[in-house]
Structure 1
Amino acid sequence: MSVVPIPSLLPKLRRLCLPAGLIAALAMPVAGQAQVSPFRQALAETVAGQTELAAGYRAHGFAGIWTGTDAAAVARRNALLSTLAGADAHGLPRSRYDPEGLMARMRDAQTVQERAEMDVALTRAFLRYARDVQTGMLEPGRVVPLIRREVPLRDPAETLVAFLDADPVVFLRDLAPSNPEYGRLMRARAELQHALDTGGWGPRLPETKISQGDSGPAVVALRDRLIAMGYLAPTTVAVMDEAMVAAVRDFQTRHGLAVDGVVGPGTRAELNRPVEERLQSVLVAMERERWTNMERGRRHVLVNLTDFSATIVDDEVETFRTRSVIGAEMPDRQTPEFSDVMEHMVINPSWYVPRSIVVNEYLPQLKRNRNAASQILITDRSGREISRNAIDFSRYDARSFPFSMRQPPSNSNALGLVKFMFPNRWNIYLHDTPAKSLFGREVRAFSHGCVRLNDPFEFAHALLAAQEDDPEGFFRARLNSGRETRVSLETPVPVHLIYRTAFTDPEGRLEFRRDVYGRDAAIWAALAREGVAILGPAS
């Protein structure tokens, strides 16, 4: 049997001696011939009742997919075994596909039935790998319920049929996400693995503040760690000089920290995180990229919750960025992850207070003081304003309160002066806010779940530029009217709410953010249960 010489498998390949019976099976007639051989019958019986496998083998005339002496069969099994042996490059555990075990089965198969079962085992490994590398190992919503994302799963039978008509090496290579970010994360994984293999980033920094002009052991430790991480060119300077301050500022920028060039508690904590932890974040990010392995739209909005940012992306290039505030860390206020399509914006919006806020926050206030939250109107089911004097609030509880609440357009409206709508069942949208001071915080998790924008007018201008000659004038005229105005987007824009603690910047440099909701920790634990592990040196 001809097999691609993979370094880790080469010794076994050289020792691989196939029995004569298997050689005979490899020469069975190919699909399209009328002869029904015992091998084909055994294959049909092996996949009976397994719809997806049966469909793939039926399309191939129940001939062996991997067994055969013809060039096509040889190329398929060579490509598959080589790919499975290299699964670690994608952060997938090679043990999950067991290429060594598959080779042992090929070596040991004696009977027609054993050879048929061997062929099916290879097909199962192929389909498992294809699913894992295309759309992820995990079902995201089962790991973190607030990941409300429909993973773009491919049909296994169609995948198998397409593979049979393709160049196997090219097909297997192209299963992984093709977007540039996934490729950059693969490269980052390899670089971090190399750093781990060569001893990591050195000792942790001591718990002391380090500022420009300082010297001593703590500065030397900082210098050596910055050099090992690639933020500082090799040097023997033992004083916190301008070059080291610039390196700290760069580190802070690429970790979402306040940029001041000083190593305080927050910066020190991030500097002290080990290679293994950063590698975990990259492996989780790769799994998350596989969950979103789909066309995202030539123009789309990308909201990275951990980065507290919202961007507009045109043809893979970021063309607009603003800071954001996301849902608070309490479980009932966290912003979910999902994708939808922005259809319109509302200028001078009213705020229709969500039921949960009405009964849990405002009703208790109204029971104490009927004039509480006086800026908000109380309405009946038809939207008509009801006088507060006509309501005995003490009669009601959270279940029986029959009224709604609405805040009319104003500068103090909770939604600010514009909101951006992508209708969804979670009632999540992007909007302005009068609480501008929150955008100066390092961690910006304060909302009830919606995403607040620091530069909402400029965001609106960028969206309207695709359909208006004077987007600023168009927007300003409707804003100055004071009237609630809906403006449809002539070309709806996909919106993706994602959560990445590891990602790359427009220049391809790796960045990290805190796991603000603890979701990546849960995903890593789930990946570890599936066999993903941080490989030690020389693993």
Structure 2
Amino acid sequence: MMLFFPLARRGRNENESPLRGGLRAVTLAASVSLGALSGAAVLTVAPAPVAAQQVSALMQSIAEAAAESKDLTAFYRANGYTPVFADDSARARARRQALLRAVQLAPEKGLAPYDTTLLTADLRAIRSERDLGRAEVAMAKLFLDYARDVQTGQLVPSRIDSGIVRQVPYRDGVSVLTNFARSNPQAYLRALEPSSPEYARLLREKARLEEVLAQGGWGQEVPGSKYEAGQSGNGVVILRNRLMAMGYLPRSASTSYDADMSRAVQLFQIRHGLAPDGVAGPGTLSQINVPPEERLASILVAIERERWMNFDRGQRHIWVNLTDFTAKIMDNDRVTFETRSVIGATQPDRRSPEFSDEMEFMVINPTWNVPRSITVKEYLPMMQRNPNAAGHLRIVDRNGRTVPRSAINFAAYTPSTFPFAMKEPPSDGNALGLVKFMFPNKYNIYLHDTPSKSLFGHETRAYSHGCIRLQQPFDFAYTLLARQTSDPEGFFRARLNTGRETVVELEQHVPVHLVYRTAITLPKGGMEYRRDIYGRDEKIWQALQQKGVQLRAVGG
């Protein structure tokens, strides 16, 4: 049994029979062979002489139908306007069957259903070679749409939120079509999907949650605002039942908040980025009461985000999940180092962007070159009130020369006319701390140390101007340097102890991925969820719904 929530949807063709019947009709009507055009029989027909006007009718039809797409025009020009989908050969039938089957199963992959109503009508109406050409191109368009959606996503990230500046690895349509025509169609269509373990686990969890919805969800929401050890009553029973339904608590008949329930709540808190105190307070209850529909939406968003990153992330790479406030070094998909992080604050102009780049070097004892935006928005107003404000910072002119504050009339400048820059020399109190990790990019984002250590004790750590602060930057550096020196700690500290700014190149650049995932799979099973602190996933989900992606309840 399959139930659908009342969201917009598009119809789809469920089988291939209209195409087969239409092809047989045009085959018998035309009695032609295109062997002279392609070098091989394209239509299976009774022997008959080739009429030039019949051949040109097919070619002209394909050319006209493909004209609105550069990729289709280039593909069919290169193959002599030979059909690859809409003839009656065994290979064409295999391509059609594989494509239509994949399209039919699109919702299982987290995609919107495809509207094949018009295509079905066109296939049933095939009576001439012009009809055949139009059907051929319609199938090719459907293939390209599906290939792009399943391979690199249904949405363009930068159109959703200005902070998602990720470069999606779109594939060339001509190459995709050409390779499909040369390959096993089913295998090729499967290979379009992301190969990451995370993608496969997300699909499995999607299917599991769809079954949960079909079975009625996780039961009643937990009332009240706080439950802790020793309590009993109806609210505790409802909490017990919901924790069991979600898989955090084994079967239990206890009506009190006992040690088992405390451990279950603690595990839930760990899996949701909450302080694991074992007490079901307001913050924990708000997350416990999130409905499975909302969790499923988070998974569908995560699947879309996986498609945006359908590329080789690097055998070793750095993974910074903004919603998780962590930075990890990954080796062969295993976490080999992890540290807490502080990310950009939630104000629109301070949020950390999402993108990928390569870490090239680290700077020990760095100078802080104060970003222009901070200089004119924060420090200039302070110095206009008090010229000696932020006295730990040097003011320099365009030639890098220090300018005494007594020589500057701060009141004479606006944010757009202030001609000076500001720098902070290396020191223990430097805003960047004692080391920064550079992957040069136009957003001026990097990872670095910080003197503000207390912030790492907070549950939500969104305080920076956009850069990523690390709780354990020295150990992070040692892990990176271990591949190029036998004594990474000694190497690092020898340069640190000089007190001078020192650049250390990484002999092997390391890919860095700043990501935003609110639904995170665990390799051994289970899920973790995080809050949508910047509201980006909500925007993505709204856009996916507009595309036709649906929440489904499957099973029963």
Structure 2 counterparts to residues 292-441 of structure 1, below 5 A: 292-441=309-458
In the alignment, residue 279 of structure 1 is paired with which amino acid? L
SS in 2 for 1:235: coil
Give distance in 2, aligned partners of 1:535 and 1:238: 34
SS in 1 for 2:337: strand
How many residue pairs get aligned? The number is 530
Long gaps (5+) in structure 1: 1-7
Cα offsets for 1:245-287 (capped at 9, x unmatched):
1111111111111111110011100110111111111111111
SS in 2 for 1:481: coil
Whether 1:47 aligns to 2:51 is no
Cα offsets for 1:223-242 (capped at 9, x unmatched):
11111111122222222222
- Aligned with 1:63 (options 57, 71, 82): 82
Q: 1:340 to 1:12 in 2, by over 3 A?
A: closer
SS in 1 for 2:506: strand
Contact kept, 8 Å, 2:13 with 2:120, in 1: the verdict is no
Give distance in 2, aligned partners of 1:9 and 1:156: 23
Structure 2 counterparts to residues 92-491 of structure 1, below 5 A: 92-94=111-113, 97-99=114-116, 102-491=119-508
How far residue 295 of structure 1 moved from its aligned partner, in angstroms, is: 1.1
Cα offsets for 1:144-182 (capped at 9, x unmatched):
111111110001111000000000000001101011111
Alpha-carbon RMSD across the aligned residues, in angstroms, is: 2.1
Give distance in 2, aligned partners of 1:480 and 1:106: 76
- Aligned with 2:21 (options 10, 18, 22): 18
TM-score (norm 2): 0.91
SS in 2 for 1:18: helix
Task: Report the more deviating stretch, 211-220 or 176-185.
Answer: 211-220
Contact kept, 8 Å, 1:189 with 1:282, in 2: the verdict is yes
Give distance in 1, aligned partners of 2:31 and 2:150: 29
Q: 1:140 to 1:477 in 2, by over 3 A?
A: same
Long gaps (5+) in structure 2: 1-10, 42-49
How far residue 50 of structure 1 moved from its aligned partner, in angstroms, is: 3.1
How far residue 211 of structure 1 moved from its aligned partner, in angstroms, is: 0.8
Give distance in 2, aligned partners of 1:143 and 1:28: 49
Give distance in 2, aligned partners of 1:33 and 1:174: 28
Give distance in 2, aligned partners of 1:79 and 1:224: 44
How far residue 520 of structure 1 moved from its aligned partner, in angstroms, is: 0.5
Whether 1:513 aligns to 2:530 is yes
Contact kept, 8 Å, 2:16 with 2:97, in 1: the verdict is no
How far residue 378 of structure 1 moved from its aligned partner, in angstroms, is: 1.4
How far residue 10 of structure 1 moved from its aligned partner, in angstroms, is: 10
TM-score (norm 1): 0.94
Contact kept, 8 Å, 1:59 with 1:161, in 2: the verdict is no
Contact kept, 8 Å, 2:521 with 2:527, in 1: the verdict is yes
Contact kept, 8 Å, 1:26 with 1:67, in 2: the verdict is no
Give distance in 2, aligned partners of 1:120 and 1:289: 29
1:88 equivalent in structure 2:
107
SS in 2 for 1:433: coil
Whether 1:503 aligns to 2:520 is yes
Contact kept, 8 Å, 2:16 with 2:100, in 1: the verdict is no
How far residue 508 of structure 1 moved from its aligned partner, in angstroms, is: 4.1
How far residue 29 of structure 1 moved from its aligned partner, in angstroms, is: 3.6
Contact kept, 8 Å, 1:413 with 1:434, in 2: the verdict is yes
Cα offsets for 1:503-522 (capped at 9, x unmatched):
11343431110000000111
Cα offsets for 1:67-94 (capped at 9, x unmatched):
2332211111110111000001111012
Contact kept, 8 Å, 1:32 with 1:61, in 2: the verdict is no
Give distance in 1, aligned partners of 2:304 and 2:281: 33
Task: Report the more deviating stretch, 50-59 or 238-247.
Answer: 50-59
Give distance in 2, aligned partners of 1:223 and 1:373: 54
How far residue 100 of structure 1 moved from its aligned partner, in angstroms, is: 5.7
Whether 1:72 aligns to 2:72 is no
Task: Report the more deviating stretch, 307-316 or 15-24.
Answer: 15-24
Q: 1:16 to 1:487 in 2, by over 3 A?
A: closer
Give distance in 2, aligned partners of 1:99 and 1:226: 43
SS in 1 for 2:21: coil
SS in 2 for 1:164: helix
Q: 1:474 to 1:26 in 2, by over 3 A?
A: farther
Q: 1:239 to 1:399 in 2, by over 3 A?
A: same
Cα offsets for 1:82-132 (capped at 9, x unmatched):
1000001111012xx234653443233233222221121111111000000
Q: 1:11 to 1:343 in 2, by over 3 A?
A: closer
Give distance in 1, aligned partners of 2:406 and 2:285: 57
Contact kept, 8 Å, 2:342 with 2:463, in 1: the verdict is yes
Give distance in 2, aligned partners of 1:26 and 1:447: 72
- Identical amino acids, percent of aligned pairs: 52
Give distance in 1, aligned partners of 2:284 and 2:448: 31
Q: 1:12 to 1:485 in 2, by over 3 A?
A: closer
Give distance in 2, aligned partners of 1:290 and 1:537: 24
SS in 2 for 1:409: coil
Structure 2 counterparts to residues 512-531 of structure 1, below 5 A: 512-531=529-548
In the alignment, residue 399 of structure 1 is paired with which amino acid? S
Q: 1:352 to 1:11 in 2, by over 3 A?
A: closer
In the alignment, residue 460 of structure 2 is paired with which amino acid? V
How far residue 314 of structure 1 moved from its aligned partner, in angstroms, is: 1.0
Give distance in 1, aligned partners of 2:453 and 2:175: 51
2:46 equivalent in structure 1:
none
Give distance in 2, aligned partners of 1:413 and 1:455: 16
- Aligned with 2:39 (options 20, 32, 52): 32
Give distance in 2, aligned partners of 1:14 and 1:48: 28
